[in-house]
Structure 1
Amino acid sequence: MTQLFFEYGAMGSGKTIEILKVAHNYELQGKKVLLMTPDVDDRAGVGVIASRIGLKRAAVAIHKSDDLFAEVLKNTDDLAAILIDEAQFLAAKQVDQLAQIVDELNIPVMTFGLRQDAFNHLFPGSKRLFEIADKLEEMKTICTFCGKKAITQLRIVDGQPQYEGDQVFIGGDEAYVPVCRKHWYHPDQKRLAELFDTKQHAAN
């Protein structure tokens, strides 16, 4: 059944590895997929889907003003699926366009991304996906401090947790750690200092 999927999880839950695996599995069967990612995430370059373990692939860069239905209409020949990374950065209207692709073009769309930002507020793209996606699936990882399920991520700047600021702040392991709700409010400062001192030494 053709559906709009949203697989979500905290940072470090393996979302990007999963999207690359799904693409690989389709292609092993000789099927064509369209990989896309918002251009705001430029850590590995604009239009690149890259995981923390070094796997990466080129993708079509999505701009905030793009009409995704119109873009896909240009490239529908033998298209088995559309795979979108960092879907939290999509505009709400772009999520509606993905639903239109599913319903009118009969092409499955699988999106991957964060549920909420570092301040525990839904991203616009994630909010709309929760409202209209056919299937939701949580990808799990553990809290940096206690090993319980992480439900969000804590933003770290200069070794200190941040509880206000811009919703979009692009970064990876050097800027975020996955955490449970308890440790989002009360992070282990000693562990945090050790962790980011280690990351700083690794970077140097």
Structure 2
Amino acid sequence: MSELVFFSGTMDCGKSTLALQIEHNRSARGLQGVIFTRDDRAGEGKLSSRLGLVTDAVEAGESFDVYAHLVDRLSQGGRCDYVIADEAQFFAPEQIDQLARVVDDLGLDVFAFGITTDFRSKLFPGSQRLVELADRIEVLQVEALCWCGARATHNARTVGGMMVVEGAQVVIGDVDAIDEVGYEVLCRRHHRRRMTAASARAAALSPDVLPVDAPAPVAAASGAVRSVAATSGGPVGSVSRPTVRS
């Protein structure tokens, strides 16, 4: 039975790599698929992985009708055994509805790949609709890591390495960008604190230190001991013993 499967995860966890692997495995068995994408970092009409793999795809722009495109292809004698939709978070909710219709009416498996939330931890409209409609949701097991070593769960937008929380929801960038708009995956703690790898390094180099109470001077401590000794009438370190009468 055909399914709509949503593969989700943070940036840099291998979603596009898995999409390319599924395409390779199925095409190696003689199956033919159609790949849709939108706003890929490699440019229009491309599905790319950070490992350097790239393949051609159909760009699903704002007004693009996924279902109509496939019906037209099949009506003209074309073949389609499965569908891959990468960068699905950028798809309009109506396009996600069209993907669900492809499964139900055309009997094709649809594999959608995308991140769930944006740099403000808000759901992308396309991802929200996928969560609502998908037959299965698969969280990728390849864990991206925060700079602190913890599991990364949030996507942060950076400018010059510093995290920002204002701006348009969709701005194309990459995790390797440093001096321009880029993205970084963080654990929830450091996303809440807006602490990226760059800001953490800056904090480590800061001359500011936490205030610490200075220990009491040795001379003052010795004077206190002498005072106690004088009061007791004996030398420092002596211990008075009670007199025992026989």
Q: TM-score, normalized by length of structure 1?
A: 0.89
Q: Counterparts of 2:109 and 2:46 in 1: how far apart (Å)?
A: 21
Looking at structure 2, the residues matched to 15 and 100 of structure 1 have their Cα atoms a distance apart, in angstroms, of: 23
Alpha-carbon deviation of 1:178?
1.1
How many angstroms does 1:179 deviate by?
A: 1.2
Match of 2:163 in 1: 161
Q: How many residues align?
A: 193
Give matches, 1:94-105, under 5 Å.
Answer: 94-105=95-106
Taking structure 2 as the reference length, the TM-score comes to 0.74
Q: Following the alignment from structure 2 to structure 1, what is the Cα–Cα distance between the partners of residues 173 and 25?
A: 28
Higher strand share: 1
3-state SS, counterpart of residue 127 of structure 1: helix
Contact 2:47 2:86 in 1 (8 A): yes
Correspondence for 1:58 among 47, 56, 59: 56
1:50-98 Cα deviation digits (max 9, x unpaired): 1111100010111111111101112234311100100001110111111
Unaligned runs of 5+ in 2: 202-246
Give the share of equivalent positions with the same residue, in percent. 38
State the shift of 1:42 in Å.
4.7
Aligned pairs for 1:41-190 (under 5 A) are 41-76=39-74, 77-139=78-140, 140-173=142-175, 174=177, 175-188=182-195
- Residue 79 of structure 1 aligns to a residue whose secondary structure is coil
Asked if the contact 1:2–1:108 (Cα under 8 Å) also holds between the matched residues in 2, the reply is yes
- 1:162 deviates by 0.5
Once residues 107 and 22 of structure 1 are traced to their aligned partners in structure 2, the CA distance between those partners, rounded to angstroms, is 15
Match of 2:198 in 1: 192
Instruction: Compare relative contact order (CA 8 Å, sep 6+) and give the higher one, 1 or 2.
Output: 1
Structure 1 gaps, min length 5: 196-204
Q: State the alpha-carbon separation in 2 of the partners of residues 182 and 143 from structure 1.
A: 13
Larger radius of gyration: 2
